[in-house]
Structure formats: C-alpha cells, structure tokens
Amino acid sequence: MPEDTDVFHVLTEEPPAPEFIATPHFLYQVKTDGTIQLEKKKKRRKQSS
C-alpha cells in the first residue's frame, strides 16, 4: 500500500510525475494531484502440493 511519503514525493517533484508502487498482489498509481488509484490486481499463484 502506498505510504504518505510516496504521495509527498509525487507532489513535490518538478516537473510533476506520477509514480507506480507494486506490491505482491496489487499495482497502485500515485497521481500528480495526490490521489491513489488501484491500477491492477495481480493473480495469485496456486501452490503445488
């Protein structure tokens, strides 16, 4: 999950640029207006027995 510091980094960057944050199951985008959007939900792999 994106943190406050991720949003701060996007808002203070010159020129403004969105940032993507990947976790094991999700891909988020922090937009230049400070909003966070879920871009993709990754599929979980089945574990073999």
Per-residue pLDDT tens over the stretch 18-43: 999 999 999 999 999 999 999 988 77
Reported confidence tier of residue 8, pLDDT bands at 50, 70, 90: very high
The pLDDT assigned to 2 comes to 86
Residue 46 lies in a domain: no
Residue 37 lies in a domain: yes
Number of domains in the chain: 1
Owning domain of residue 27:
4-41
SS3 helix, strand, coil % of the chain, rounded to 5? 20, 30, 50
Residue 47 lies in a domain: no
Question: How many other CB atoms sit within 10 Å of the CB of residue 16?
Answer: 11
pTM for the complete prediction?
A: 0.73
Residue 15 lies in a domain: yes
pLDDT at 17 over 80: yes
The pLDDT assigned to 47 comes to 67
CA–CA distance, 6 with 2 (Å, rounded to integer): 6
Cis peptide before 16 (omega within 30 of 0): no
